[in-house]
């Protein structure tokens, strides 16, 4: 590449980037891509944090309405979310299963000891494989999964207090309503 064309490279790189930024404006990172809702959740079979011998798979959760919360001890936003999860667990409205994502088990345990444990079980996804299968974009994320193992709702980013009343409870009602 010689002469003047070389000097056009930065402009081209920028224009390509601007294209992505434009597209990014119309994708809400806090919302689910429609392809994932109402689709079966990815299969998984993972060890639990407190008992590495014990594995939990998707099949074990069949028939239950539950929420998968993806978190990690290195994730700053998770810390803000954690008290909301504690509140949800305290209200007892839905079982939360944690997915400790790309994390060291010791760090994860320490985190829960310090901040409290809202989880019914905590799964360890050290390689991040299951997270990728679930299309995890950034931690934290939470998936509301129904008795048939279908993802019904996804929270991208932290769940905030108003989300409990505004989103979580109505969604749970909707899912439970169908069961009857």
Partner 1 sequence: MIPEIGHFALVLAMCLAIAQAIFPLVGTMNNTPSWAGLARPLAWGQALFLTIAFGALTYAFLVDDFSVRYVAANSNTLLPTVYKISAVWGAHEGSLLLWAFFLGIWSAAIAILSKSLTQEVVSRVLAVMGMINAGFVSFMLFTSNPFERLFRIPAEGRDLNPLLQDVGLALHPPTLYLGYVGFSVAFGFAIAALIGGRLDASWARWSRPWTTAAWVWLTLGITIGSWWAYYELGWGGWWFWDPVENASFMPWIAGTALMHSLAVTEKRGAFRSWTLMLAILAFSLCLLGTFLVRSGVLTSVHAFAADPARGIFILIFLLIVIGGSLALYAWRAPSIFSGGRFDLVSRESFLLGNNLLLTVFTFLVLFGTLAPLVYDALEWGKISVGFPWFNKMFLMVTPFLAVLIGFGPLMRWKRTDPAWLMKKLRIAMIISVIIGLIAFIPSISKGSLLVPLGMFLVAWVITSHITAIIDRLKHKQGISHFFADIAGKGRSYYGMVLAHLGVAMFILGATMVSHHGVDKDLRMSPGESAEISAYRFQFNGVVRTPGPNYTANQGKFTIFLDDKEVAVLEPQKRTYFAQGRPMTEAAIDWGLTRDLYVSLGEDLGDGDWSMRLYYKPFVRWIWLGGLAMALGGVLCISDRRYRTKKQKNQQLAQSDAANTLATENS
Binding site for partner 1 (CB under 8 A): 3-4, 6-8, 10-11, 14-15, 17-18, 20-30, 33, 72, 74-77, 79-80, 83, 102, 110, 113-116, 131-132, 135-139, 156-157
Q: 125 or 172, CB closer to partner 1?
A: 125
> What's the closest the beta carbon of residue 99 comes to partner 1, in angstroms?
12
Contacts of 50 (CB under 8 A, 6+ apart): 109, 122
> What's the closest the beta carbon of residue 129 comes to partner 1, in angstroms?
13
How many DSSP H helices and E strands does the chain contain? 6, 7
Q: 26 or 177, CB closer to partner 1?
A: 26
> What's the closest the beta carbon of residue 31 comes to partner 1, in angstroms?
11
CB 104 within 8 A of CB 72: no
Determine the Cα–Cα distance for residues 148 and 64; give it in Å rounded to an integer.
Answer: 8
Bridge partners of residue 172, in order along the sequence: none
Q: 56 or 115, CB closer to partner 1?
A: 115
Q: 59 or 77, CB closer to partner 1?
A: 77
Determine the Cα–Cα distance for residues 174 and 155; give it in Å rounded to an integer.
Answer: 16
Determine the Cα–Cα distance for residues 33 and 175; give it in Å rounded to an integer.
Answer: 20
């Amino acid at each position: 590449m010689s002469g003047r064309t070389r000097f056009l490279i930065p402009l081209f790189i920028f224009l390509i980037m601007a294209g992505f930024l434009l597209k990014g404006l119309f994708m809400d990172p806090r919302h689910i891509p429609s392809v994932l809702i109402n689709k079966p959740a990815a299969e998984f079979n993972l060890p639990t944090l407190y008992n590495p011998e014990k594995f939990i798979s998707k099949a074990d959760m069949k028939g239950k309405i539950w929420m998968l919360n993806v978190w990690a001890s290195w994730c700053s936003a998770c810390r803000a979310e954690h008290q909301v999860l504690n509140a949800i667990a305290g209200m007892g409205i839905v079982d939360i299963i944690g997915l400790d994502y790309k994390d060291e088990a010791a760090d994860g345990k320490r985190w829960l000891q310090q901040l409290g444990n809202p989880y019914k079980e905590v799964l360890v996804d050290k390689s991040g494989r299951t997270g990728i299968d679930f299309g995890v974009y950034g931690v934290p994320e939470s998936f509301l999964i129904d008795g048939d193992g279908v993802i019904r709702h996804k929270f991208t980013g932290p769940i905030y207090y108003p989300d409990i009343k505004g989103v979580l409870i109505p969604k749970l009602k909707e899912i439970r309503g169908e069961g009857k």
